[in-house]
Structure 1
Amino acid sequence: MIRLNTVLTLVATAALTACTTLGPNYQAPAPNAPANYRAVASSAGAELQRDWWLVFGDAQLNALEAQALQASPTLAAAAARIQRARAVFGATQADELPRVDVGASAGGLRTSAKATTTPVLNGRAITFEGESFGLQASIGWELDLWGRVKRQAESAQAQLDASTLDAAAARVALTTDVAAAYWQWRALADEAAALQRLRDSRAKAFQVAQTRFDAGASTTQDLERVRAELAAADADVADLPRRQALVLNQIAALTGQAAADLKLEANGTLPLPPAIRAGLPSELLQRRPDLAQSLAQLHAATAQVGIAEAAFYPSIKLTGSFGYSSEDLGSLISAPARLYNIGPSISLPLFEGGRNKANLAGAKAQVDESLAGFRGRMLQALREVDDALAELQGRAATMDAQNRTLASSSQALAVARSRYDKGAVSYLDVTEAERTPLATERALAQLRGAQWAATAQLVKALGGGWAPADTATTASAAR
């Protein structure tokens, strides 16, 4: 019993002194964000929420987003990655606790009389025969003297956080892609209406030109010019269904349904998008889940350095067993049948061919790579916001110029129609005056679509309304 007390005292002393955790502690790097974006960002505008698309008040878009969130294989795969990371974290936590096993055995035994190890007495082989019963419990526990197990749990927790943030980033990307494709389809519907009006005008112009040519009042050159313009309008009209079909196929794929089952309605002319508040560059780290995911990966890599350093130091394991063994089942649970074995084991690496040094160098290189990846992702995030703001501002300026063009050309068309009513000009002059305003209407429809696409780009660049508190919501939803 003195030996057992000595062992337990040794183990307790070692456990009390096991307060060293090797490796650097994780510290989040400074984002080094500029004071402002290069493009001028308005301080006014809508604040993005987690379900950011609701601010636009489009019931059809709301339904598409709900369908995508429910049926997307991308989000299902992200949820599975969370479950896998949670399982790894749970297994790592189990390493911090002792392992206890219980077993029982029963069997018959007879030794061989012909074996080379059989004892011989007076020229006769001695054999043994009987039954054996056993009941035993064993325990194993590694003392975390250098914090290796702690660092493993820390790394697994960071990987779980990274998986959860990956799911949040996938949600942002999915919802913005659905909205961008939907708005593109709406813009194509507006463009189709404007293009059809332009084509009808070209058809009327061709009829007038044909009549004038038949009457000898115009040249072949004039007739062929109008014919070419009609053919170009026909080509644009014929190509539009292809463009619309491709967008519908994209929406169907994003929402997890067959394109044949997708039914959309234009619901009137696509309006101008509302302004979105961009905020400051320093807020991006709290708004974009991919940036937070990059930091979680850096945290995991930092913890791996401590694990690699712990491999240079000795490991102490406490193992023991207690139980009973007897040839008679009736006397199995009795003091004479009792047995136990307890004691620590120490392992110290002496020669491993440089493996531990290589692993440590690799872990440190992984930290450097993760840090560089975060900085690169931060720069990319700043660029994406600046690109979206520049796109919105540039399209707004172009639209303002196109609106002035439309106002002036519409006035010119009104004058041409008034003069036609008075017999001062032919109808061909009226159709010529229709050319600019109809083409401008088509250009404006395209510009509105481009503004909505830039709005989706800005929402995505700003993180789609994600907030750090949403990480816990995403993780619990995957349970």
Structure 2
Amino acid sequence: MTMQNPVRPLLTPLLAALVLAGCATAPPSLDKALPQTPAAFSEGGVPWTTAAPAEAQARGEWWKAFGDAQLDALVERAERGSTSIQVAAARLAQARAVLGATDANRALQVGLGAGASREAQRGLGVAPNTVLSAGAQLSYELDLFGRLAKASDAAALDVRSREALLRSTRLLVQAQIAQSYFALRALDAEQTLVHGTVEAYRDTLRLTERRYAAGDVAELDLVRVRSEVAATESEALALERQRAQLEHAIALLAGEPASGFRIAADDWRATPPQVPAGVPSTVLARRPDVSAAQSALLAAQARVGVAQAAWFPNLALTASGGFASSELSELFRSSARAWGIGALLSLPLLDGGRREAGVANARAELDAALAGYREQVLVAFKDVEDELAALRLLARQGDAQGQAVDAAARATTLSETRYRNGLVSQLELLDARRSELRNRREALQVRSAQYQSTVRLIRALGGGWGEAA
């Protein structure tokens, strides 16, 4: 009869874990799952090229390219007071704290302890005894299968993702400030235009009142002009209401109370910068949202490894040393010294499917992160294409609208002259002025849209282009 080796049953789970370790390979390359890179942007044929990662590169003060001191001051105020930026900064600090706690699991753990106890055993005739103790404990987990390292890698990638999200939030706030500011300046210009039209209508009204008093025109002509004056004044008040709402929105972006926030009306002098050709080819290199999605994807991939490592044994080394004595004066003598070392190998065998569920959950999170990254890349291409198309078509629309304004202004001049000479009716003059006002307002809206689209393109490019060109 042969004796079985008692060690073999104990080694079987460990050998099985080692076999599983060889099977726990990293997920395959993710490049094939990403959208196909276009050869060029459809708008203008700008070629797309693979650029080195540059999400951490400084964006510069891109808004200063518009040459508006008031805008510069507003962006600086938003940088200091934006609650959105503050929340994103707090989330980054939280992620860094989690990284520190995760890294701490890989370090040597040291603790100190002291205690006192008093005990007595009845029936043995032993007098009550007091035991005093003091000691230190050390422990260290050997990261045999990389579980702790993968957890630290995932936490570090979370920090990178939060850093990118902070940059994305800062860029978003800057862009929203610029867009709201230019919309407000467009309203200022439109208000000036409408007020000028009101004054022109009032001049016509005064002339019509004199003619009505002289019996040259009917009352119908008089009430028509009064109607135009009132309707145009109503439009001016509507513009004033819109301006107040925009001003309050800018106050919120800047993190300031709307009650005391004011932006004085001023002329619209800023000129939108021209985006140099070829810059859109670096769109994916500096977009912080793409960088954040990529870091989240890599973190999810690392956490798959952490979940897989739960199948493998944990080996912890421990050591303790100290003193124990019944007398305080004898506590730190060599005769009271005690010590011990040990190693603990643990491998769970049955857990009701908890580890399988953990791996399945990690893989599902990886699939979701991959889909999110793919979507963000597609959004990046879409955003650039949208704004390139918008700027191209707005330039053509602006030229056409300029011609319409010139023709409408000429028609108004001719109608006013003919009306004063009694050659045309009042209806023709009022219609010419309405047409000129409508065309001038549409021209302002096209100009405002060009500014808005320029800001959106800058944001789509990750903020500016000076450092990436």
Structure 2: runs of 5 or more not aligned: 1-17, 48-57
Determine whether 1:444 maps to 2:443.
yes
The code of the aligned residue for 2:459 comes to: K
Deviation at 1:277, TM superposition (A): 3.6
> Which of 104, 112, 120 pairs up with 1:111?
120
Q: TM-score, with normalisation over the residues of structure 2?
A: 0.84
Once the two structures are TM-superposed, the CA of residue 65 in structure 1 deviates from its matched residue by 0.5
Query: Secondary structure of the equivalent of 1:240?
Result: helix
Q: Any idea what the Cα deviations from partners look like across 1:358-394, whole Å, max 9, x if unmatched?
A: 1111111111110111111111122122222222222
Deviation readout 1:290-338 (Å, 9 max, x if unpaired): 0000000001100111111111111111122112212233333333322
Q: Which amino acid is 1:96 matched to?
A: R
Correspondence for 2:357: 358
**d(CA) in 2 for partners of 1:138 and 1:188?**
71
The alpha carbon displacement at 1:169 in A equals 0.4
Task: Give the aligned partner of residue 150 of structure 1.
Answer: 149
Q: What does 1:44-55 align with in structure 2 at a 5 Å threshold?
A: 49-55=59-65
Partner of 2:345: 346
Match in the other structure for 1:94:
104
- Verify the 8 A CA contact 1:317 1:345 in the aligned structure 2: yes
Q: CA, structure 1 residues 152+42, in 2 after alignment: closer, same or farther (shift >3 Å)?
A: closer
Post-superposition shift, 1:396? 1.9
Tell me the distance in 1 between the aligned counterparts of 2:338 and 2:466.
59
The alpha-carbon distance between structure 1 residues 41 and 420, as it changes in their structure 2 partners (threshold 3 A), is: farther
**How many angstroms apart in 2 are the aligned matches of 1:69 and 1:356?**
45
**Counterpart in 2 of 1:246?**
245
Report if aligned partners of 1:297, 1:370 keep a CA contact under 8 Å in 2: yes
Q: How do 1:3-14 residues align onto structure 2 when only pairs under 5 Å count?
A: none
How many equivalent residue pairs? 435
Worse-matched range after superposition: 240-249 or 432-441: 432-441
1:32 matched to which residue of 2? Answer: 36
The one-letter code matched in structure 1 to 2:38 is P
Map 1:259-338; keep pairs closer than 5 Å.
259-277=258-276, 279=278, 282-338=281-337
Give the partner amino acid of 1:408: A
Q: What letter is aligned with 1:87?
A: A
Deviation at 1:100, TM superposition (A): 1.3
Is the deviation greater in 26-35 or in 245-254?
A: 26-35
**How far does the alpha carbon of each residue in 1:91-135 deviate from its partner, in whole angstroms, 9 at most, with x for none?**
111111221112223x3524152xxxxxx4xxxx42332332222
Q: 2:234 is aligned with what amino acid?
A: A
Amino acid in structure 2 at the alignment position of 1:65: V
Q: 1:80 aligns with which of 81, 87, 90?
A: 90
- Pairs within 5 Å for 1:420-431: 423=421, 425=423, 428=426
SS at match of 1:342: strand
Match of 2:311, SS state, is coil
Whether 1:65 aligns to 2:75 is yes
Distance 2:358 2:36 in 1: 31
Q: Give the unaligned 5+ runs of structure 1.
A: 1-16, 114-119, 470-479
- Partners of 1:456 and 1:401 in 2: how far apart? 23
Paired-residue identity, %: 33
Return the letter of the residue paired with 1:109: R
Which one is further off, 217-226 or 298-307? 217-226
Equivalent residue number for residue 191 of structure 1:
190
CA distance in 1, matches of 2:467, 2:233: 52
Tell me the equivalent position of 2:11.
Answer: none
- Residues 68, 269 of structure 2: 8 Å contact kept: no
1:61-81 deviations in Å (ceiling 9; x for gaps): 111001000011111111111
Are the aligned partners of 1:205 and 1:431 in contact in 2 as well (CA < 8 Å)? no
The 8 Å contact of residues 31 and 285 in structure 1, kept in 2 or not, is answered as no
Task: Identify if the C-alpha distance between structure 1 residues 315 and 304 changes in structure 2 by more than 3 Å, giving closer, same or farther.
Answer: same
TM-aligned CA deviation for residue 25 of structure 1: 6.7
Moved more, 357-366 or 392-401: 392-401
Paired amino acid for 2:261 = L
Cα distance in structure 2, aligned partners of 1:219 and 1:418:
20
CA distance in 2, matches of 1:183, 1:435: 25
Cα pair 1:68 1:174 within 8 Å, conserved: yes
TM-superposed CA distance for 1:465, in Å, is: 3.4
| Contact 1:294 1:374 (C-alpha < 8 Å) held by counterparts | yes
Q: Look up the match of 1:133.
A: 132
Distance 1:268 1:450, change over 3 A: same
2: CA distance, partners of 1:215 / 1:380: 68
Deviation at 1:464, TM superposition (A): 1.6
| TM-score, normalising length: structure 1 | 0.82
Offset at 1:418?
6.1
The amino acid of 1:92's aligned partner reads T
Larger CA deviation: 432-441 vs 449-458: 432-441
Q: 1:224 Cα deviation (Å)? A: 5.2
> Within 5 Å, which residues of 2 pair with 1:358-377?
358-377=357-376
Q: Give the conservation status (yes or no) of the 8 Å contact 2:313–2:347.
A: yes
> Is residue 188–residue 267 contact of structure 2 (8 Å, CA) maintained in 1?
no
CA contact (8 A) 1:202 1:226 kept: yes
Q: RMSD of the TM alignment (CA)?
A: 3.0
Whole-angstrom distance in 2 between the partners of 1:306 and 1:292:
22
8 Å CA contact 2:145–2:309 kept in 1: the answer is: yes
Q: Which residue does 2:164 correspond to in 1? A: 165
